């Protein structure tokens, strides 16, 4: 459908992230099933709960716009998750390496969401919609915090993966974690 004004552009992006959040919710459930590190598991579990809230926030945004909450297939989300699923299969023999890949995939998800929410927030500012702005900012904050937590956990996950690789007799030199 042709988009000819900024309200339509906003609504399109809203339906897109509404779909992406649903896809990511499913994707994180799969990541949780495959994650071995307890901290990584906790992080994913917390963000699953936050994502459920984010979906409700988006439904409120639709209501404030007087629109029905509707999903429009987000190809970007699908691509990130397909890649994540593939690498989870490929690393299934070494859980510590798989954890690194899960963290990497999860961080890609967060960055996709961060970019999308920043764009939507600019749109809400343009429309002068303070309540919509507040709801979107709440979602953005959670994505930013989650991304930060993932990145903080990376050195430890990398160290575990490097050790697992060494024990497994891999032919790469053991890397030391920072």
The residue among 95, 106, 99 whose CA lies nearest residue 27 is 106
CB of 120 to Fe ion, least distance (A): 12
CB nearer to Fe ion: pick between 77 and 161 = 77
Name the token pair of 110: 């967060």
CB nearer to Fe ion: pick between 16 and 21 = 21
Name the token pair of 74: 């987000």
- Which residues of this protein are in contact with Fe ion, per CB under 5 A? 21, 51, 54, 110, 113, 143
Burial class (CB in 10 A: 0-12, 13-18, 19+), 26: exposed
CB of 101 to Fe ion, least distance (A): 17
CB of 113 to Fe ion, least distance (A): 5
**Which residue carries 């600019």 as its tokens?**
122
Cβ atoms of 12 and 3 within 8 Å: the answer is yes
CB of 110 to Fe ion, least distance (A): 5
CB nearer to Fe ion: pick between 137 and 163 = 137
Residues shown for the chain: 178
CB nearer to Fe ion: pick between 86 and 141 = 141
């Amino acid at each position: 459908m042709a988009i000819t004004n900024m309200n339509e552009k906003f609504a399109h992006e809203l339906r897109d992230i509404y779909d992406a959040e649903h896809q990511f919710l499913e994707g994180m459930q799969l990541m949780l099933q495959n994650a071995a590190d307890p901290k990584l598991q906790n992080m994913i579990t917390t963000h699953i709960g936050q994502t459920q809230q984010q979906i409700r926030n988006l439904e409120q945004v639709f209501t404030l716009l007087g629109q029905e909450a509707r999903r429009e297939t987000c190809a970007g989300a699908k691509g990130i998750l397909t890649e994540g699923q593939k690498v989870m299969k490929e690393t299934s023999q070494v859980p510590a390496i798989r954890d690194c890949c899960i963290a990497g995939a999860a961080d890609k998800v967060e960055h996709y969401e961060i970019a999308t929410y920043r764009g939507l927030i600019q749109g809400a500012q343009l429309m002068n919609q303070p309540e919509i702005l507040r709801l979107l900012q709440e979602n953005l904050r959670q994505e930013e915090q989650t991304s930060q937590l993932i990145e903080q956990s990376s050195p430890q996950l990398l160290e575990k993966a490097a050790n697992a690789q060494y024990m497994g007799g891999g032919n790469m030199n053991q890397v030391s974690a920072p």
